[in-house]
Structure 1
């Protein structure tokens, strides 16, 4: 993950040389390929937040907490638009600003990558939290997944923005067609999912979905 502290739009990005920047995050945030300076332990990059508008009107689909969905009708039952506000059982809150795949289509036998952009709405509390990213087929079955969170909740501060990268390895035998990327948050200790709230602050769903087209391996 990459974190922008609240109110920071430019400055210096310090990266340990044993943990280089994910190339998809580098490209998304237009981070220079060459550092200003570099030692054996770290490299320093100039950083300027790109001037781009988040896709806050882009649609997403959702499924109510505890409800199952097996692809009936071709689309999940609920539809809304970004941004999406999630709340945890401890009243922690995150706004999902958007989900951005790095390619127009996913390819069987390759890695499908998407980036989610989140804004912190409450100061963090000690907890083990993770995002889940699942690729679902037309019957609602998981065919690829990745869990994780690169920004520990106890370090959160209101207004921070962070980008989480999701890499999903797709099997070469995956049939071409429409799939769904399912995304949400859960507490590792209990498995309890954070809930998506509607405009009135009532629970609406426990995960959101966007369509993904998968093409055959070359």
Structure 2
């Protein structure tokens, strides 16, 4: 009987397989290499699809194109535009308040330090890691719903807590590929390893014995 794969070896196999599937994987939010747009869009994406966020954001940034314009907007003006994204009052407050803080404390620039990002209204570790990874090229595990679901199914973690998943994957995934790894997990989670009715029979990882979900 063969010995079960270690988590480290599983991670290597998953990384290689997903890279071959999605060599050009990138953030699905269309932020035009603008860190402020990414920050706002990441906040809008809570409980909303990236596709809808991309549509709504075009209108939002057409009217309020930068941090200064957004800081001057009223909550009501932002709310009216972002309603389709859901939770619009909470999100509008975060977006305006973070814009004001960026101007007052960071000279209108997006900081790269984790503590500074976490000080912004509405920003948690998931958004902070996304900013650090996609704009600043720094490592960081973005523990979104896809990453959490797949990591549990693969047996890399045994928790639905984003902080735990981030901590455990940070030990397994090399620092310099963490951003791309998380984007590929999102692609794979949408295409194959779906929350409902996963396509286990089509999964390229199934014969590689890395998934504990499909073996049940």
Interval containing the TM-score (normalised by the shorter chain):
under 0.3
Task: Return the structure number with greater helix share.
Answer: 2
The structure in which a higher percent of residues are strand is: 1
